[in-house]
Amino acid sequence: MAGEEPEKHLEDCSVSNALGTWVFSVGGALLAIPVGIRRKSLAPLVFFGTTGTMLDIILGISQCEREHAERQMKLLEAQNVATEASLVQSGKDYQIINRVSCCFFG
């Protein structure tokens, strides 16, 4: 259909969101460089770099799960609306059949 975006699977979304974020990774490295120079050690770079990367991955995956849950809720709402419309239509059909049968057989 013309206005819809292609369906994204949860795995595709997780990978793209996890790899698409870089803010905390860069922030951790920028924080670790002066601290590492002052302490003359690479430990701050390892700590802040890995912590920033993990935060980026976790936030990307949680955003993806949130988008997936919203998409599932929209699908469920659409399904409920279709079911209610079907029930209303079948109820109207039943009333029409009762009226017609009442007139002919009543």
Residue 3 within any structural domain of the chain: no
Residue written as tokens 């002052």? 38
Residue 88 within any structural domain of the chain: yes
- What residues make up the domain containing 88? 10-105
Residue 1 within any structural domain of the chain: no
Mean pLDDT by 10 residues, the chain (106 residues): 56 62 85 90 90 87 86 90 74 60 56
Contact 42, 36 (CB under 8 A): yes
Residue 4 within any structural domain of the chain: no
Residue 36 within any structural domain of the chain: yes
Residue 77 within any structural domain of the chain: yes
Task: Quote the CA–CA distance of 65 and 77 in Å, as a whole number.
Answer: 18
**Structural domains in the chain (count):** 1
Q: What is the pLDDT of residue 102?
A: 56
56 DSSP 8-state letter: H
Q: What angle do CA 61, 19, 57 make, to 5 degrees?
A: 40
Which residues have C-beta within 8 Å of that of residue 77, sequence separation ≥ 6?
none
